[in-house]
Amino acid sequence: MSARITLVVALTLAAVACGVDDPLTAVDRVVVGVAAEGCSLEPAFGTGVAVVHGDEVLVVTSAHTVAGSDEVSLRRPSGLAVSAEVVAFDPDRDVAVIRADEMRYGRPMGEPSTGAAATAVAWSPDVGLESFDTTITRLLRVTIEDIYVEDVVERRAFEFDGAITAGDSGAPIFGETGDVLGIVYARSRDRGVGFAVSTTEIRPVLDSVTDSRADTGRCI
């Protein structure tokens, strides 16, 4: 497993060789921090990624990051806070969708495959964007509880190599061409692997988006 690196350095070096339009050198335009307020004195933080869905750019993150929130904002790598609104919330799939008018650039979604090389990109309030190279080790059909630990649900997901942290929830896993393959939702407690919700689960949540603010349920 490659060591985690600060993404700003990686982007600068890659841009010289590949040009700023290369899909993996432009992740600072699509990966953002997610700050959800309303459940405690301090915001809950996670990561989100902007994807193209039809003629709109929407941000996808983990539902447990924004559960019970009153207000949500996005944090750019520069530190700028962007006003946003949760427009879809699925506690079974652990996927939420956020709309922000300022997000004008997104990545397409692809399909994960076993053995594929990939890159995980996460945001944290202390460091900003970080990335690490990984490999998709297994495609999964997981029987798991929903985010409220109330119902048993089935979720299509995949396992990948990498030591993720709690704040990495919602972090995108990019394929080699820059397509989003899934978003992080959990880590193993005894192995150096993480788990991501597949785009197969993300697409139906994107399809459910309306013009209205979504009910984000209760706090966890």
Per-residue pLDDT reduced to its tens digit, 69-122: 999 999 987 778 999 999 999 999 999 999 999 899 999 999 999 999 999 999
The set of long-range contacts for 184-190, using a CB threshold of 8 Å and a minimum separation of 24, is 184/47, 184/62, 184/120, 184/122, 185/62, 185/64, 185/94, 185/157, 187/163
Q: Tell me what pLDDT residue 187 has.
A: 87
Q: Tell me what pLDDT residue 12 has.
A: 30
Predicted model pTM = 0.88
Average pLDDT over residues 193-213: 96
Q: Tell me what pLDDT residue 24 has.
A: 61
Q: Tell me what pLDDT residue 23 has.
A: 52
For domain 1-215, give the CATH number: 2.40.10.120
Q: Which residue has the higher pLDDT, 167 or 80?
A: 80
